[in-house]
């Protein structure tokens, strides 16, 4: 098959584009190789992922994630997709938040009923005999009072009734397996589903979710712009994009201290706790390669999101970015 000079040039340009290099930490690698290498990193660290997060951040990552959910402020009926969320940290917090809202609403409804209809004034006519309502129990009352089931089961029955659901999507099956195991341990089998998929090409329908979250995952993706575009696609009009990610510390003195800790301590922790120096060296380097807060906010706007904001956490060590799909 022959190509004209113009066609040949076009073909060569396309070939070069597909072979373009990108960063893997501080190393330059072909784009089609990065995804495989990132997969291997998280395959290697999956079983120790939560332990290492606690060790590296002295537990602060838990506070960041709690605050992330508070900023999201999901309501009963919310449909969430949590991308790169394999171990379930965001998903479980989401369901617990929904549970607390349902419990609070139920408590308030019960309080209102008790206020409007004082129990001492209610009687039920049973064979012309006045019986105080406190002496009458329905089947549902009995089953409720006798119930001693697992709290997680009760949580998710409520969640299902309100229609809330979270889809946890991750490209790495090993990370998903860790999340599934954690879910089974506490009985979280309803209101949550697990999906293996690439953040750059999600295997879900457009306009499907109220909220899209990605926590500490987007910096590991080869094409960050494609990830954000996919987030826009799968969100319903009015839906919200939220990203929790390591970011850049603006203060030069604090940045110097943070860099020293990151490069001198974290890889050593990786070797001691997970017997894996290289994976944690990559994770530290990947943070330094990620765009700063303003640049990333601009990328979110360019993908079509409106009302884009960000909030620094712990002096900019991490940041929450948010944007809305208005149409």
Distance between CA 305 and CA 297 in Å, rounded?
Answer: 10
Number of residues that make up the chain: 327
Q: Is 199 annotated as a binding residue?
A: yes
170 is in an annotated binding site: yes
If you ran DSSP here, which 8-state letter would residue 251 be given? S
How many C-beta neighbours within 10 Å does residue 116 have?
7
C-alpha 266/C-alpha 289 separation (Å) is: 17
Q: Is 169 helix (H, G, I), strand (E, B) or coil?
A: strand
Rounded to whole angstroms, how far apart are CA atoms 309 and 240?
12
Q: Which residue has the tokens 């501080």?
A: 26
Using an 8 Å Cβ cutoff, are 191 and 206 in contact?
no
3-state class (DSSP) for residue 247: coil
Cα distances (Å, whole numbers) of residue 32 to 20, 22, 23, 82, 223: 9, 9, 11, 24, 11
Give, to the nearest 10 degrees, the angle between helix 266-274 and helix 277-289: 150
Rounded to an integer, what is the distance from CA 304 to the centroid of its chain? 21
Which residue has tokens 């709290």?
A: 151
Burial of 285 (0-12, 13-18, 19+ CB in 10 A): middle
Instruction: Please name which of 113, 71, 114, 120 lies closest in space to residue 93, comparing C-alpha atoms.
Output: 71
In the chain, alpha helices (H):
5-18, 31-45, 49-57, 60-72, 89-116, 139-146, 151-162, 173-185, 224-234, 252-264, 266-274, 277-289, 293-302
Q: Which residues are annotated as a binding site?
A: 87, 170, 198-199
Q: Which residues are annotated as a binding site for S-adenosyl-L-methionine?
A: 87, 170, 198-199
């Amino acid at each position: 098959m022959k190509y004209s000079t113009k066609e040949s040039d076009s073909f060569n340009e396309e070939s070069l584009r597909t072979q373009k290099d990108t960063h893997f930490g501080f190393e330059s690698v072909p784009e089609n190789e990065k995804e495989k290498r990132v997969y291997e990193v998280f395959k290697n660290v999956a079983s120790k992922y939560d332990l290492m997060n606690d060790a590296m951040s002295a537990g602060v990552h838990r506070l960041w994630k709690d605050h992330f959910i508070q900023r999201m402020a999901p309501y009963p009926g919310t449909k969430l997709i949590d991308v790169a969320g394999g171990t379930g940290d965001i998903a479980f917090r989401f369901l617990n938040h929904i549970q607390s809202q349902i419990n609070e609403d139920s408590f308030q409804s019960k309080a209102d009923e008790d206020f409007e209809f004082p129990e001492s004034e209610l009687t039920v006519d049973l064979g012309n005999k006045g019986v105080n309502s406190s002496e009458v129990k329905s089947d549902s009352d009995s089953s409720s009072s006798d119930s001693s089931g697992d709290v997680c089961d009760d949580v998710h029955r409520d969640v299902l009734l309100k229609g809330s659901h979270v889809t946890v999507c991750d490209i790495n099956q090993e990370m998903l397996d860790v999340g599934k195991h954690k879910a089974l341990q506490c009985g979280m089998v309803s209101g949550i589903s697990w999906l293996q998929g690439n953040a750059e090409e999600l295997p879900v329908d457009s306009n499907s979710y109220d909220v899209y979250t990605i926590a500490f995952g987007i910096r590991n993706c080869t094409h960050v712009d494609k990830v954000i575009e996919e987030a826009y696609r799968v969100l319903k009009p009015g839906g919200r994009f939220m990203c929790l990610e390591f970011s850049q510390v603006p203060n030069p003195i604090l940045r110097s201290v943070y860099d020293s800790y990151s490069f001198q301590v974290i890889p050593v922790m990786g070797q001691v706790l997970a017997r894996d120096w290289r994976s944690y060296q990559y994770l530290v380097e990947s943070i330094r390669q990620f765009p700063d807060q303003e640049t990333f906010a601009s990328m979110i706007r360019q993908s079509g999101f409106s009302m884009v904001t960000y909030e620094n956490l712990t002096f900019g060590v991490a940041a929450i970015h948010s944007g809305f799909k208005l149409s």
